[in-house]
Amino acid sequence: MARSVNATVYSPQLLSLKYASRPIKAVRRAAEILIALGTFVFKLVLDERNGQLDQNKRMRAKELRKVFTRLGPTFVKVGQGLSTRPDICPPEYLEELSELQDALPTFPDADAFSCIERELGRSLDSIYSSISPSPIAAASLGQVYKARLKYSGQVVAVKVQRPAIEESIGLDFYLIRGVGILINKYVDIITSDAVALIDEFARRVYQELNYVQEGKNARRFKKLYADKQDVLVPDIFWDYTSAKVLTMDWVDGVKLNEQEAIERQGLKLLDLVNTGIQCSLRQLLEYGYFHADPHPGNLLATPEGKLAFLDFGMMSETPEEARYAIIGHVVHMVNRDYEAMARDYYALDFLSPDIDVSPIVPALKSFFDDALNSTVSELNFKTIVDGLGAVLYQYPFTVPAYYALILRSLTVLEGLALYADPNFKVLAASYPYFAKRLLTDPNPYLRDALIELLFKDGKFRWNRLENLLVQGRKDRDFTTKDALQPVLKLLLGPDGEELRTLVVKEAIRVTEAIVLGTAIDTYNSIPVPMRTLIFNGNATGPFMMTGSEQESMLELRDRLFRIWSLLRSSENFDPALLQPILQVLQEPEARNLGGRVIGGITQRLAARLLQQLLRS
């Protein structure tokens, strides 16, 4: 930790003071950037005028990759960010810019070895019994060597920072921030705060320059998420780590975008991607601490079938309120409650509280009514991102940095999956997690979201509950016990009167369906001649109900039996799990609720019987 005391921290004020006194250096670098990017833009304009924009797209994408590489680490980071934004870049650009993750020029090995000795205060020979003579990989901010520790014989990865990188990155961000100030002042078409976005991006890049901070990020990430047997996070060797040198376990594996190599190991890419999606959902919505740079170079498939996460320089956090708001947003989307969806943008920090959301509702309705013609699980994540992007573009939204990083994380995983299966849908793979959280999380916001999902116009939607249970059981962490307890606590709590009224009505309807459904089955099991004889040729038998009414009642009863079967077949189900429920039902409020249900059932069945006698 002492070695990271002097690590560089991003400060716009300090950069301004530093480079304002060096105008010649700033002007020279600005000219270099303007010439490189200006030449590229000029070629695009010519292509458009000549009608060759689509024809030359691949060639221009390669040129842009080379331009970013020549301009140095800052623009390599910009290109890496763009490579995960299908909402901004065409596919040809995404593919070319993704090569920036690996195909970077290396710096001299002598400089790297000198940096290791200077940072750790020891000679190479005293630290390693062997170290690769050249780097195994080159990243935007450093390069990686494979070595064997002398004291233990363990094989490690040693990441060494590029020399004088703070100087080049600092000057670039000083210039880019100046452009952001001009955009905020003169470009009305861009509604987001350009300077704030640039500052957020620069802050994260500077955090990546502190390898001790990256080691701490890795340790925290491992503590939160490596409890799953299919996720691997390497250990950090703190005695051999400083602000510019990071030493961690060496991980043997194949990059997640090398499908053939993965399948040669007997592994399935989709299984690994699904592991990544489930882990990402836990990161984004459970603990809120997530890996913000999950490009293919940072995700490895190990020979044991685990998904290994690497490079913890760029991390981010989802605010707690936003975590619940995202899940609630999905519920509102399923319910097509566009007014509630629009209000969610306050909690998500997309809109300031003084903005009126009513004009946004028709735009959401127009997009999602078309998109939701298929089921939610069939929606493509990119379709939603593109559609919402069009809506956000028309209104005064400010997209928070954490949300942009969430989109980046999930679009990368979906892109990897689409290589293996063009029909893969991230939302379909995510839905079991959402179902489990709704059924088991005691958070009041999610409990309200669950009630909103299950009740409509005073009626309980049993088909929704059945679907949630079917999906929730696909999540390995789902248990019946967790699904039952929070609902009961809510139902019998002091604020549950409105819900109790709905539940009493539904319990009466359900009991009637079971009793009369069983009676209908019994009647249908009697041979036809005997039915005619017993009931004097009455076609409906003893039940004064239409065929559709009987069918509806039987359908409800059968759905209830299926739901009970789903609960019983849940992993770790034990009848003893019902004991806490029986204890809860001993409470006065529960006994009162039971009395109301029994009274309602008695009245309902008595009314049925009286109706039967009068019609007879």
Contact status, residue 290 vs residue 270, Cβ threshold 8 Å? no
- At 529, list the tokens: 């001649």
Nearest Cα neighbor of 396 from 360, 450, 435, 448 is 360
Nearest Cα neighbor of 585 from 469, 505, 503 is 503
Classify 161 as helix, strand or coil.
strand
Q: Report angle CA 422, 425, 430 to the nearest 5 degrees.
A: 150
Nearest Cα neighbor of 555 from 602, 603, 521 is 521
Nearest Cα neighbor of 368 from 333, 342, 403 is 333
- Residue 339 CA to residue 329 CA, distance in Å, equals 11
Q: In 10 A of CB 518, how many CB atoms?
A: 12
- Residue 207 CA to residue 315 CA, distance in Å, equals 9
Sign of CA dihedral 376, 377, 380, 384: positive
Q: In 10 A of CB 398, how many CB atoms?
A: 16
Nearest Cα neighbor of 195 from 182, 186, 209, 206 is 182
- Residue 19 CA to residue 72 CA, distance in Å, equals 18
Q: In 10 A of CB 6, how many CB atoms?
A: 9
What letters, b where the CB count within 10 A reaches 16 and e where it falls short, cover 11-26? eeeebeebbeeeeeeb
- At 154, list the tokens: 């363990």
- Residue 34 CA to residue 28 CA, distance in Å, equals 10
Kind and range of the H or E run holding 142: strand 142-149
- At 122, list the tokens: 């020891």
Nearest Cα neighbor of 464 from 166, 472, 304, 573 is 472
- Residue 238 CA to residue 214 CA, distance in Å, equals 11
- At 605, list the tokens: 């069945």
Contact status, residue 378 vs residue 425, Cβ threshold 8 Å? yes
Q: Identity (one letter) of the amino acid at 539?
A: A
Per annotation, catalytic residue among 172, 293, 311, 475 = 293
To the query of whether residue 293 is one of the catalytic residues in this protein, the response is yes
Which residues, listed in sequence order, are joined to residue 109 by a DSSP beta bridge? none
Contact status, residue 437 vs residue 478, Cβ threshold 8 Å? no
Helix axes 23-49 and 165-186, enclosed angle (nearest 10): 60
- Residue 544 CA to residue 135 CA, distance in Å, equals 84
- Residue 477 CA to residue 225 CA, distance in Å, equals 13
Contact status, residue 312 vs residue 225, Cβ threshold 8 Å? no
Q: In 10 A of CB 337, how many CB atoms?
A: 17
Helix axes 444-454 and 480-492, enclosed angle (nearest 10): 90
Task: Label each residue of 474-493 as H, E or C.
Answer: CCCCCCHHHHHHHHHHHHHC
Contact status, residue 81 vs residue 201, Cβ threshold 8 Å? yes
Catalytic residues: 293
